[in-house]
Structure 1
Amino acid sequence: MPTTDSPADRLDAFHQEALENTRASLAHMARYGIEPEGRVALFLPPDARQAEVHRMPYTHAARQRVVYTTEPGEFTALCPFSGLPDSGTVRVEYVPGSWLLELKSLKYYLLSWRHIGAAQEDITALLFEDLMGWLDDPDRLVVTTDYTVRGGIHTVCTVDSREQGRGGAAGGDGAA
């Protein structure tokens, strides 16, 4: 008879993984002389995010620009320095090659960042890398995160495939 972990066992495993990751992150920051301010809370590493977004074939000759934008505050991750939530919007814009992203799966992927601690710039780069992998051959992909103001600083991060030397940078005219 296979054993299944109880909710308490899963919670203990989550807590242990978060504790180990947070300690490792604090040690990493200390190597660079960075001391977290305020309260430190537990968070998971980026590799704990959902590993897949389902996709569907795009079989049309028509080039179209597809844009997905979350509602303000719908996307959250955790600040690795304080454990406080960083919230904002995520905008994904692409011109499909062979594939489209399936929306429910994309929603679950974005929600999977909720307990992950990482810098806003790192998260944007990881979102781009993940989506580029799942889309495989888009003519263009642009991922923008627009975070809620914290400490008087508004942060907007953008990764554009046309600036990466792939995904439409060579030979694409940029028109949608």
Structure 2
Amino acid sequence: MSNATENDITKEVKYGERAIAEGELITFPNPRMGRRYKVDISLPEFTCKCPFSGYPDFATIKVTYYPDEKVVELKALKLYINSYRDRYISHEEVINQILDDFVAACDPLEANIVGDFSPRGNVHTVVEVSHVKTGN
């Protein structure tokens, strides 16, 4: 290691943090255009912060979609989801925002996002939002 002090190292932006900060939802062409198929994705390590208390919230995010012309790249989706870890945002808003961003990125035929939040203070919350492409 160089002459950097431990404190200098902790202030340094780590490669994972940089990847998360620079991340965006990336797509690629649907390899099976014309075939209707469903994609299920589970992201069990979601975190964000309560906008009122600042306490961390934990959830499993489930993405189900039927691709049209584009398919979401999974590592990009993981980095995008991880970008919420330090954001102060309500359960309802975060799931709606994820759907909005997902639809903007890959314009699926249908998409459904579920946020199954871990109980906190004896309250268990599940938020589900859906999108159906018009004209189909």
Indicate the TM-score class for this superposition, using the shorter chain for normalisation. 0.7 to 0.9
1:6-155 equivalences in 2 (<5 Å) = 8=11, 52-60=24-32, 61-71=34-44, 74-136=45-107, 138-155=108-125
Structure 1 segments, 4+ long, off by >2 Å, are: 6-10
Higher strand proportion, which one? Answer: 2
Alpha-carbon distance in 2 for matches of 1:97, 1:88:
28
Q: Which amino acid aligns with 2:70?
A: W
Cα RMSD (Å) of the superposition?
A: 2.1
**Greater relative contact order: 1 or 2 (C-alpha under 8 angstroms, separation 6 or more)?**
2
Alpha-carbon distance in 1 for matches of 2:22, 2:123:
29
Quickly say closer, same or farther: Cα 1:50–1:143, change in 2 above 3 A: farther
Deviations 1:81-124 (A, max 9, x none): 11111001000000000011101111111111000001110001
Give the % identical residues: 31
Q: Which amino acid aligns with 2:77?
A: L
CA offset at residue 50 of structure 1?
A: 6.0
Quickly say closer, same or farther: Cα 1:104–1:9, change in 2 above 3 A: closer
Query: Larger Rg: 1 or 2?
Result: 1
Decide whether the 8 Å contact of 1:50 with 1:112 is kept in 2: no
Decide whether the 8 Å contact of 2:23 with 2:76 is kept in 1: no
| Secondary structure of the corresponding residue to residue 64 of structure 1 | coil
Decide whether the 8 Å contact of 2:99 with 2:129 is kept in 1: yes
Alpha-carbon distance in 1 for matches of 2:78, 2:104:
17
Quickly say closer, same or farther: Cα 1:145–1:69, change in 2 above 3 A: same
Note the residue ranges of structure 2 that are not aligned, 5 or more in a row: 1-7, 14-20
